[in-house]
């Protein structure tokens, strides 16, 4: 590390020498850049004397007015001399350099660390209650409008990584003090830069004195609207405040910190792939044996099934006992027990942490494969640009009755859509290069799809890779399932910016008309299926944005467990 501190000043002659000596006493090798905005009280002369005493101190004269202009000039100077990381702090002694160690602790992993007055409580000394209240309310307003998990947007006590500042258009930074701090946070998130807040104690050495006028506060209030989040996102943020705000922060961490890859090099084509299979189970005593028997009886040529992991997530029935019996008889089968249900994504991450095969396959324990399913799933990987393939789900429900029609019709449309534009679901295979997926996704296959696409791989659909599943038998369970999926897709779009192909209503309607059987009962059933789907998607929007129902741990539809 080669750190530097940037201190913008304007008439800080009473404080600047004290601050610089305080920094150098604790960090003798620290470089200091003082950017002065044409002070008239002797600040420049004081810094010049200090720079003659210590070559690590440098004075830069700011030609243009405005705190933001001075900050930009300091950044340019620091970047030109290869400093990293880059601290910023005020010159009025309100920021204590004792916190530098805490900044440096987080800098290897974060692009911007903010010393916060308001995280985990309020830490301000020397302010009247009215000023403190206005500052706190202003930061709350910015948080609500921008929808960012930050408590203190206007703190100037920060540490920036060189890699982040090189992406910032420094000449476009706003000159006003409050606005430029908000703008830099906005840019950090825009560039997918990880941001961390650490608590610190702010001490106002000059109570009652402020360099920021009411006009600047009003201007900031209006300027923030430029960075406003979509209206529905703002509503969702307000919902989080009433419920689980820590999860909101963790989701942003996942968004800003894309998972590391197991392998970065482009995958090679092999004649024989090693395969790891992960079976996700929760209270599957009725089906887990049939699922494992089907996997053990796979007829494969282009791959070898090296290991089968069953991740039992909080099961309370005999699932674990059944799998242990299989594990004792078949060494390739291994049981991983999660003591409580934490969602399917969490179970998948357990599997990914242990899978060693070239290809990873994920299957739910309530599905059953045909003897050639795995072989067919692996075939697309003979092309180096294919990163993921999806099986062909076929429901075992009876076709008679309205719910039976709905289940079969949806999977028929899924198949027709996947033939035109690959859509993966129910059982998937992908190159084993992903270390983990977001823990809070309710649509795990779609989340993996988004990550594979982002890595510039293509998707493939394997129509001969049949996997039998059981759809809901009651209308209540059917609507609950469709509603959950709609909410999960909203979450995927909000957090990863990925839209699955089935979210394109126009494409679906074209397939409906293309594949529709035009008998009166079929048309009547199709009309009500469309009504239910529209309702479920609308309800999913309400659940996600207004009720904070991201069902990453979903209620089980009991009728899908009888095959």
3-state class of 169 per DSSP? coil
Closest C-alpha to 333, from 286, 295, 374, 283 = 295
Mean pLDDT, residues 315-339: 94
Domain 4-256 shares a fold with domain 273-561? yes
Distance CA 265, CA 476 (A): 47
Q: Quick one: what percent of the chain has pLDDT higher than 90?
A: 48
Q: Which CATH number fits domain 273-561: 2.40.50.320, 3.50.50.60, 3.90.550.10, 1.25.40.80?
A: 3.90.550.10
Q: Are 114 and 195 in contact (CB under 8 A)?
A: yes
Residue 84 above 80 pLDDT?
yes
Q: What is the DSSP letter of 83?
A: -
Cβ neighbour number for residue 542 with a 10 Å cutoff: 16
Of 96-110, 376-390, 500-514, the least confident: 500-514
Which of 368-372, 524-528, 555-559 has the least mean pLDDT?
555-559
Query: What's the rounded mean pLDDT across residues 48-70?
Result: 91
Element (H, E) at 105: helix 100-106
Please say if the pLDDT value at position 118 is more than 50. Answer: yes
Q: How confident is the model at residue 206 (pLDDT cuts 50, 70, 90)?
A: low
Minimum mean pLDDT range among 172-186, 192-206, 386-400, 434-448: 434-448
Burial category of 242 from C-beta neighbours within 10 Å (exposed 0-12, middle 13-18, buried 19 and up): exposed
Confidence band, pLDDT 50/70/90 cuts, at residue 437: confident
For the chain, domain boundaries = 4-256, 273-561
Q: Lowest-confidence range among 46-55, 96-105, 130-139, 393-402?
A: 130-139
The pLDDT score that the predictor gives to residue 355 is 94
Tell me if 390 sits within 8 A of 424, measured CB to CB: yes
pLDDT of residue 304: 94
Q: Write out the E strands in 322-385.
A: 333-338, 359-364, 368-369
The Cα 176–Cα 212 span in angstroms is 9
Indicate the range of 52-61, 187-196, 340-349, 543-552 predicted with least confidence. 543-552
Give pLDDT, residue 504: 75
Q: What mean pLDDT do residues 392-412 have?
A: 91
pLDDT at residue 370 in the model:
96
For 4-256, the fitting CATH number among 1.10.10.10, 3.40.50.150, 3.90.550.10, 2.40.50.1020 is 3.90.550.10
> For 59, how many CA atoms within 13 A lie in the half-sphere containing its CB?
22
Give the pLDDT of residue 363: 94
Tell me how far apart the alpha carbons of residues 412 and 417 are, in angstroms, rounded to a whole number.
9
Beta bridge partners of 2: 84
Q: Which of 237-246, 295-304, 444-453, 522-531 has the lowest mean pLDDT?
A: 237-246
pLDDT at 213 over 80: no
Q: Is pLDDT at 343 greater than 90 in this prediction?
A: no
Q: Is the pLDDT of residue 248 over 90?
A: no
pLDDT at 558 > cutoff 70 = no
- Predicted pLDDT of residue 421: 83
State the pairing for strand pair 386-395/427-431: antiparallel
pLDDT at 183: 93
Position with higher pLDDT, 109 vs 232: 109
- Alpha-carbon gap, residue 47 to 33, rounded angstroms: 10
Position 290 pLDDT exceeds 60: yes
Query: How many residues does this entry show for the chain?
Result: 563
Q: Write out pLDDT tens, residues 480-494.
A: 888 888 877 776 666
pTM value?
0.68
Residue of higher predicted confidence among 126 and 114? 114
As a whole number, mean pLDDT of residues 61-81 equals 92
pLDDT-wise least confident of 196-205, 245-254, 301-310, 554-563: 554-563
Mean pLDDT, rounded, for 360-366? 93
208 falls in which pLDDT band (50, 70, 90)?
Answer: very low
């Amino acid at each position: 590390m080669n750190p530097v501190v940037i201190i913008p000043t304007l008439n800080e002659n009473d404080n600047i020498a004290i601050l610089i000596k305080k920094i150098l006493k604790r960090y003798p090798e620290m470089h200091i850049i003082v950017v002065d905005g044409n002070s008239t009280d002797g600040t420049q002369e004081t810094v010049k004397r200090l720079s003659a005493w210590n070559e690590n101190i440098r004075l830069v004269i700011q030609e243009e007015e405005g705190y933001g202009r001075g900050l930009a000039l300091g950044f340019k100077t620091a970047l030109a001399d290869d400093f990293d990381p880059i601290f910023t702090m005020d010159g009025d002694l309100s920021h204590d350099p004792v916190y530098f160690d805490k900044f440096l602790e987080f800098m290897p992993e974060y692009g911007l660390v903010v010393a916060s007055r308001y995280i985990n409580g309020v830490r301000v000394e020397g302010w009247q209650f009215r000023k403190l209240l206005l500052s706190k309310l202003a930061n709350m307003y910015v948080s609500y409008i921008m929808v960012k998990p930050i408590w203190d947007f206007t703190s100037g006590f920060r540490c920036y990584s060189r890699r982040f500042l090189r992406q910032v258009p420094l000449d476009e930074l706003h000159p006003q003090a409050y606005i430029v701090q908000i703008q830099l946070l906005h840019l950090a998130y825009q560039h997918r830069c990880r941001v961390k807040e650490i608590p610190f104690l702010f001490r106002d050495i000059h109570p009652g004195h402020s360099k920021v006028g009411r006009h600047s506060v009003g201007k900031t209030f209006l300027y923030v609207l430029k960075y406003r989040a979509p209206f529905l996102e703002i509503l969702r943020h307000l919902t989080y405040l009433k419920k689980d705000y820590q999860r909101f922060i963790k989701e942003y961490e996942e968004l800003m910190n894309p998972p590391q890859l197991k392998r970065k090099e482009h995958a090679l084509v092999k004649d024989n792939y090693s395969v790891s299979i992960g079976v996700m189970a929760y209270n599957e005593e009725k089906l887990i044996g049939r699922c494992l028997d089907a996997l053990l009886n796979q007829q494969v040529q282009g791959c070898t099934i090296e290991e089968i992991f069953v991740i039992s997530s909080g099961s309370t029935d005999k699932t674990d006992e059944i799998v242990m019996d299989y594990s004792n008889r078949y060494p390739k089968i291994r049981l991983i027990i999660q003591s409580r249900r934490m969602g399917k994504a969490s179970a998948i991450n357990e599997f990914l942490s242990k899978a060693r095969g070239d290809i990873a396959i994920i299957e739910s324990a309530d599905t059953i494969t045909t003897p050639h399913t795995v072989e067919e799933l692996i075939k697309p990987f003979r092309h180096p640009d294919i990163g993921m393939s999806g099986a062909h789900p076929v429901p075992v429900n009876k076709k008679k009755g309205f719910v039976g029609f709905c289940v079969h019709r949806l999977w028929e449309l899924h198949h027709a859509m996947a033939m035109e534009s690959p859509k993966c679901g129910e059982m998937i295979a992908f190159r084993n290069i992903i270390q983990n997926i977001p823990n809070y996704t309710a649509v795990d296959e779609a989340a993996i799809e988004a990550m594979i696409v982002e890595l510039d791989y293509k998707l493939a659909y394997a129509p001969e890779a049949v996997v039998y599943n059981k759809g809901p038998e009651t209308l209540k369970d059917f609507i609950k399932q469709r509603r959950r999926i709609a909410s999960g897709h909203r979450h995927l779009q909000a957090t990863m910016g990925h839209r699955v192909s089935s979210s394109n209503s126009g494409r679906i309607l074209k397939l409906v008309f293309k594949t529709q059987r035009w008998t009166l009962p079929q048309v009547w059933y199709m009309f009500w299926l469309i009504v239910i789907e529209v309702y479920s998607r609308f309800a999913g929007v309400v659940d996600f944005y207004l009720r904070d129902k991201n069902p990453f741990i979903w209620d089980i539809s009991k009728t899908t467990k009888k095959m």
